[in-house]
Amino acid sequence: MALTGGEIRLDRGHEGRVAYLTLDHGKYNIITWETRQVMADRFAEIDADDEIKVVVVQGAGEHFSSGGDIAGFMEVDPIDFTDLGQNVTAPARSPKPVITAVDGYCFGVGLELALSTDIRVATRRAEFALPEMRLGMIPGSGGTQRLARLIGLARAKYHVMTASRINAQQAGDWGLVANVVEDRAALDAEVERIVGVLLGFSPLAARTAKEVLDKGVDAPLYSGIELERKAYSMLRSSNDFAEGVAAFTEKRAPKFQGR
């Protein structure tokens, strides 16, 4: 199948500083094998564009994504599965903050995509699941590992091994999502609020914070603290830090340049 790119729309807002990636593939935004590669291509484009500071991933219509194209997986050569997850989890490797807006279903590879982003916000009707066990399979794009690190091993084992759904309240209580809001309108408003906050910060500091958090969480505490200390020292010599201090002293809004 040729890649059209239409299944993942890329729009820009806030004077080109925000990239909006919208899953748009049928009622349930099915993620096909081809869609995975489109995701990687979209993020390659975003990561190479210095004007883009923040990324938002969302689903068109009533659902974020019900998961992958199950029948289509049988048409893929098994050798191609050795790199499974490298494309759809491109948000985790992006140096830019990535927000996911979840409404309705967020299942299977859709959840794995969301888990690879930095900040997740959901509506009260959102539902999360890794249902691969129903097919005689397990999640293969980071789902088992990222979910366990977010909600704890015991809960992750239960929900992966029984293919049970996680409702929005549980997702919020367990830290799977940062915020739970009433409906889609409130979801869009909350995402824009977070976007506005992130745009006001130094892109260099945002990139550094993401890297330190991601790399430090799996390291021993002393190693994580050492990583943090060295990153702090690096930012101390940045122009953005000097600008931040000057703006604070002069009681004005900072003008960060990302350097």
The catalytic position among 7, 112, 127, 190 is 112
The 10 Å CB-count burial string (b at 16+, else e) for 23-50 is bebeebbbbbbbbbbbbebbbeebbeee
The catalytic position among 132, 182, 192, 243 is 132
The β-bridge partners of 21 are 10, 57
Collapsing DSSP states into helix, strand and coil, what is residue 163?
coil
Q: Is 45 a known active-site residue? A: no
**Burial class for 187, CB neighbours closer than 10 Å (0-12, 13-18, 19+):** buried
- Residue carrying the six token digits 């029948």: 71
Does the CA dihedral 122-125-131-135 come out positive or negative? Answer: negative
Report d(CA 96, CA 148) in Å as an integer: 24
Q: Is 132 a known active-site residue? A: yes
The β-bridge partners of 101 are 121
Catalytic residues: 112, 132
